[in-house]
A = this chain, B = another copy of it.
């Protein structure tokens, strides 16, 4: 069972999509933001490990945390390989992403699981899409890295089991899932600063955001939640 992803690059694309791929993000800031987001995903997942009610859940979550951390370290290594300092490259994104994490951690274990599942899914989709415009041969490489199986089956199965056992949890999580979308799109939008000489216009972003929300809706459906 995989996170439903956006269509892979190369499939028939809308004209809006082509516009979006013409934006050329600068490589280092892109890597820095993507790296810090993976670190944030890792932090959420490792928090979920610590508060997991069963050892089975702990096991699955720790594997997912390890995958996010490995992605982070690959991105960090790439920043170093380009003679830049990871902390300096990530610094500009730190406060916004820290605030985002605080706002999306949730009030209990299930909200944390849902955040980890939905926000990592949306942000991976977004950065994979944005990678289209990276200079040189970095795009396909980064897209492949971010698109690797994130080990999130455990999130889906734990959420499904929790929701099946308690219908009120389902209603609460449906609301929580809807709340996450806005904050996540703001983080995604912030990645578009400095993506080229012309400021990206709403008409270009909008179709991509529509696709992100559609993928989000499919994830909610998979959990039996109304988006």
Contacts and interface: CB of A to CB of B under 8 A. Distances in A.
Interface of A: 39, 42-43, 46-47, 49-50, 54-56, 58-59, 62-63, 65-66, 69-70, 72-73, 76, 86-87, 90-91, 94
A87 B58 CA distance: 9
Given A55-B91, A56-B87, A62-B72, 7 more contacts: A39-B49, A39-B62, A55-B87, A59-B76, A59-B86, A65-B69, A66-B66
A43 B49 contact: yes
B55 A86 contact: yes
A56 B94 CA distance: 12
A55 B32 CA distance: 12
Contact of A58 (B39, B47, B63): B39
B69 A73 contact: no
A90 B58 CA distance: 11
B43 A50 contact: yes
For A54, A69, A86, A87, the residue with the greatest tally of chain B CB atoms inside 10 Å of its CB is A69
A119 to B, nearest CB: 16
Contacts of A70: 66
Contact of A59 (B56, B58, B87): B87
Nearest to A46: B46
Contacts of A43: 46, 49-50
A72 B54 CA distance: 17
